[in-house]
Chain A
């Protein structure tokens, strides 16, 4: 099965860079995904990694190391609107999609 661990809460300052880590124990998966969820809203897709390495999408980047069971989401030039919950998820081809409990990020001025 898959167990996913993320920090519960993080706080950062507007304009700064923040890294949200995700560790997992899984027997195998096709992709690791990151989603953003604002309070009271549905999750929205941010990024995913299939191969090891860094994927960059504007202010957001995601990294994956399968050998270490580790991923992170990097947010640059933080804005107040980035205050949200960030969910790490694994999506195996033939299995259950599993989400972490999410990391609540608070961006302060």
Chain B
């Protein structure tokens, strides 16, 4: 069974631009969560989607948004990029919400210059 895939793996953008990241979960997994990882803040929860609905949201500004499609694939968008948005963005999928373990994708390394 294929693992979680994320595209692109690396991205360089300039301040003010917007970016869209993509995540394809493990086949059969319906829950997708997004995290931001930085050396100073660790893994920070962005949001979780289940059955095309955002179920939970972390403490990030409205510039961060996402969506989930009927095939469970998910995208996240960051508008008006700031230097502080430079981070590793990780997507994790699980069968459902709750106690199911999450499986992480390789991440997208975003650099904002």
Do A and B come from the same complex? yes
Residues of chain A having any CB pair with chain B under 8 Å: 30-31, 33, 35, 41-45, 48, 50, 87, 89, 91, 93-102
Give the Cβ gap from B12 to chain A, nearest Cβ, in Å.
18
8 contacts between A and B (CB under 8 A): A30-B99, A31-B99, A41-B106, A44-B103, A45-B102, A94-B56, A95-B56, A97-B35
How far is it, in angstroms, between the C-alpha of A44 and the C-alpha of B43 when the chains are bound?
13
How far is it, in angstroms, between the C-alpha of A58 and the C-alpha of B67 when the chains are bound?
38
How far is it, in angstroms, between the C-alpha of A100 and the C-alpha of B44 when the chains are bound?
9
By secondary structure, the B interface counts as strand
How far is it, in angstroms, between the C-alpha of A67 and the C-alpha of B71 when the chains are bound?
40
B45 / chain A contacts, CB cutoff of 8 Å: 96-99
CB closest chain-B residue, reference A34: B101
Interface size in chain B (residues, C-beta < 8 A): 21
Whether a CB of chain A sits under 8 angstroms from the CB of B90 is yes
Contact, CB under 8 Å: B104 / A93: no
Q: Quick one: CB contact mask for B26-37 with A, threshold 8 Å, 1 for yes? A: 000000010100
Pick the contact of B98: A30, A35, A45 (CB < 8 A).
Answer: A30
Whether a CB of chain A sits under 8 angstroms from the CB of B97 is yes
B16 / chain A contacts, CB cutoff of 8 Å: none
How far is it, in angstroms, between the C-alpha of A91 and the C-alpha of B106 when the chains are bound?
21
Known A42-B90, A44-B104, A94-B56; contact A99-B42, beta-carbon cutoff 8 A = yes
Contact, CB under 8 Å: A91 / B58: no
B48-106 interface with A by 8 A CB criterion:
48, 55-58, 90, 97-99, 101-106
Additional A-B contacts beyond A31-B98, A33-B102 (10; CB < 8 A) = A33-B101, A42-B107, A43-B104, A48-B101, A93-B97, A94-B55, A96-B56, A97-B48, A99-B42, A101-B42
Contact, CB under 8 Å: A42 / B105: yes
CB closest chain-B residue, reference A49: B99
